[in-house]
Amino acid sequence: MKLLINKIKAAGLALAVGFGLTMAAQAQYSITNFTLVSGIKTNQLFINAVNIAYIKFTTTTLPTGTNAVINFYDNNTSNNITYTNIAYTNYVTVKTNVTFVSTNSFGNLQTNTYPGQWTYEEVVVANTNALPAIATFNLGANTSSTQTRNIVTAKGLIVKSMTDFTNGVVEIGYSTSP
């Protein structure tokens, strides 16, 4: 009986160690840093899908009374946060009634109504749209903020500073596995 209890304890310990190693392996991530320089800038960070674990922001110089606004976009096209839909033709069908009014040879007015449908072309012109931000961050001047987020992108990651400030640093902890 004692041997059976020891085997159960050993199996439980092996299971716990294996689980702990699995959790430690999943907790590993890579780190990338980049500096947001003066002006409103767009930075392409990743061109493949990425899972973001945390984001650390540090802002330095901002105009008085303003916040730094930073947007994240899911895209892999170099520094592009817009997309264009091409022009196309849409065919619209409208149900209507056709009424035919005539006077017969006896001078009586005759009205005939027939159901029908009318189809016409509608050209939809090409248009350019902005991608929606997948995350937006507001930061005060001379502050540092670390935010734990679970942001998963499908295409890549583009970061855009929406505010003119100098020497803001962004550190991102990420993994490329789903």
pLDDT digits (tens, 9 = 90+) for 12-43: 444 444 433 333 334 566 888 777 665 667 77
Arithmetic mean of pLDDT, 105-113:
89
Summary count for the chain: helices (H), strands (E): 1, 12
Answer positive or negative: Cα dihedral of 19, 21, 24, 29.
negative
SS3 for 156?
coil
Q: Tell me which architecture the domain covering 2-85+127-175 has in CATH.
A: Sandwich (2.60)
The predicted pLDDT at position 12 comes to 46
Report which residue type is found at 172: I
Per the listing, tokens 């091409």 go with 86
**pLDDT the model gives residue 166:** 62
Which helix (H) or strand (E) covers residue 12, if one does? helix 2-27
* 9, pLDDT greater than 60: no
Q: What percent of the chain has pLDDT over 70?
A: 74
Question: 95: number of CA atoms within 13 Å, CB side?
Answer: 1
pLDDT at 94: 92
Q: How many CB atoms lie within 10 A of CB 21?
A: 10
d(C-alpha 33, C-alpha 14), whole Å: 38
- Does 112 score more than 60 pLDDT? yes
Q: What stretch(es) of the chain map to CATH 2.60.120? A: 2-85+127-175
Confidence of residue 122 (pLDDT cuts 50, 70, 90): very high
169/18: higher pLDDT: 169
Nearest alpha-carbon partner for 148 in 133, 163, 160, 137: 137
Q: Which two tokens stand for residue 30?
A: 């890579």
pLDDT band at 49 (very low <50, low <70, confident <90, very high): confident
The share of the chain scoring above pLDDT 90, in percent, equals: 13
Q: How far apart are CA 36 and CA 144, in angstroms?
A: 14
Contact 148, 56 (CB under 8 A): no
At 24 the pLDDT is 37
